[in-house]
Amino acid sequence: MNTSQTVKEVSVGEITKAILVDLQKLQQYSGEPMAAVYADNLLRTMRCLRDKLPLDPITEVVMALHDALAFQNHWIDYTAPQYQGASDLLSSLVGQVSITNSEVEDSILTLEDLGFDTLPFGVKLDDSLDRDEDEE
């Protein structure tokens, strides 16, 4: 009996290609019930990328898109052109040998420009509260 295990390395390119396929399907079925299947698969694959390659620069961009899609099921609200823009952006990143922090920031801002809310979990502070009471 062989007790050794074979470990298969997963590259960011392989996972990102799966993400791109789901983005294209989501774009194709945007606004239709079938889109839910591709949205579910897309979000799972994005989390898989986060779990397997948490320190890869593209993961930060993918997770910004994930947050925009997953928060309160906002994937339903986005349109085919927005999905196309996200797909084009990720495609351009996959082809690069290395990605700088500046390129990561620019990519996330590009997602924002496309209409994706990449920071949906923000907390709104109520400025009307009297802060003097807290200091006592």
- Give the pLDDT confidence score for residue 126 in this predicted structure: 66
Using an 8 Å Cβ cutoff, are 27 and 84 in contact?
yes
Tokens of 124: 């709104």
Report mean pLDDT in 10-residue bins for the chain, 136 residues. Answer: 57 91 96 96 97 95 97 96 98 91 97 95 65 51
For residue 5, what pLDDT is reported? Answer: 58
- For 49-59, b/e burial (b = at least 16 CB within 10 A) is bbeebeebbbb
pLDDT at res. 136: 47
CB atoms within 10 A of CB 10: 12
Residue count of the chain, please give it: 136
Half-sphere exposure for 79 (CA within 13 Å, toward CB): 4
Task: Please state whether the predicted TM-score (pTM) of the whole model is above 0.75.
Answer: yes
pLDDT for position 122: 73
Residue 12 has what pLDDT? 85
Contact between residue 86 and residue 39 where contact means Cβ atoms under 8 Å apart: no
